[in-house]
Amino acid sequence: MAKRSKDKEELLLQSFEILKNNLEDNEVKLREIIEKIAKSNISLAIEMWRYVLINGEAFIKRDGYSFTSGMMYSLEKKIGNEQLVIILNDNDDILEYVFGKSNSISASYIWDAFKYGYIELADKMYTLVKKNRYKEESLSNIVEEICEFFADEFDYIHDVDDDDSNNYEEEENRANGVASLLLKWVSALRDKEAKARISVTLIDYI
C-alpha cells in the first residue's frame, strides 16, 4: 500500500476509534469510514462493520438503516454486489444482524443472493427476515418485491422461440429452481391479497 493511502487509512482508523464511542450520533460518519476503508482493506472493513453491528444491536433494532441496509448500499458501490453477497455468505454473524435484528430490510440484497447463485444463502436470509420481530416492512411486502425482481430478470424467457429454446435451457432451469423456492415462501404467507398478486407475477413459472 502506498504511503499516502496508508496515512489515509490511519486517519480513518483514528476517527473510527473516537466516533465508535457514540454510535447513534455518529452513524453516518461511521458508515462513511467503513465504506472508505473497504476500497483498500476489505477484511478490516468487515471487522469494523461487525463491531458497529454487535455494539449497536439495540440501536439497529429501532433504526438500523445506517449499519445494515445503508451499509450494504455503501459497500456495494465500492466492491460490487457479488462481492457483498460473498461477504454475507461467509459471515453468519453479520448476516444475522442485517436480516434478523435490523428494522431496515432491503429485499434487493436477497434477490442478489439468488441472482449470483447463492440459493441457500437466500433461503437463510428469508428465514431470518421471517423471524425478525423488528422489521418495519411486512414479510409479504418483502417477498412480493423479491418476486417482482425475479419476474423482471427472467421476463425474456417467455419471448424465446421454440426453435431457440435449447439455447436457453440452462436459464430456464435456473428460473424454475428459483421459482420453486419463491413459491414455497409465498405459500407460507398469511396475506391473501399479497399471495394473489404474487400468483399473477409467478403464474408463468407454476
Over residues 143-188, the pLDDT tens digits come to 999 999 999 998 866 555 554 555 567 788 888 889 999 999 999 9
Answer yes or no: are the C-beta atoms of 137 and 194 closer than 8 Å: no
d(CA 155, CA 165): 14
Answer yes or no: are the C-beta atoms of 123 and 114 closer than 8 Å: no
Residue 148 or 6, more confident: 148
Q: Report the share of the chain in percent with pLDDT over 70.
A: 92
User: What per-residue confidence (pLDDT) applies to 165?
Assistant: 54
Answer yes or no: are the C-beta atoms of 105 and 135 closer than 8 Å: yes
Judged by phi (left if over 0) then psi (alpha if -120 to 50, else beta), residue 117 lies in left
d(CA 117, CA 85): 10
User: What per-residue confidence (pLDDT) applies to 48?
Assistant: 98
User: What per-residue confidence (pLDDT) applies to 177?
Assistant: 87
User: What per-residue confidence (pLDDT) applies to 84?
Assistant: 97
d(CA 82, CA 73): 12
Cβ atoms within 10 Å of 134's Cβ, excluding its own: 14
Q: Report the share of the chain in percent with pLDDT over 90.
A: 79
Half-sphere exposure of 73 (CA within 13 A, CB side): 12
Q: Where are the beta strands (DSSP E) in the chain?
A: none
Q: What is the dihedral of CA 62, 109, 119, 58, to 10 degrees?
A: -20
C-alpha cell, 106: 432491503
Answer yes or no: are the C-beta atoms of 194 and 141 closer than 8 Å: yes
d(CA 80, CA 125): 19
pLDDT digits (tens, 9 = 90+) for 87-128: 999 999 999 999 999 999 999 999 999 999 999 999 999 999
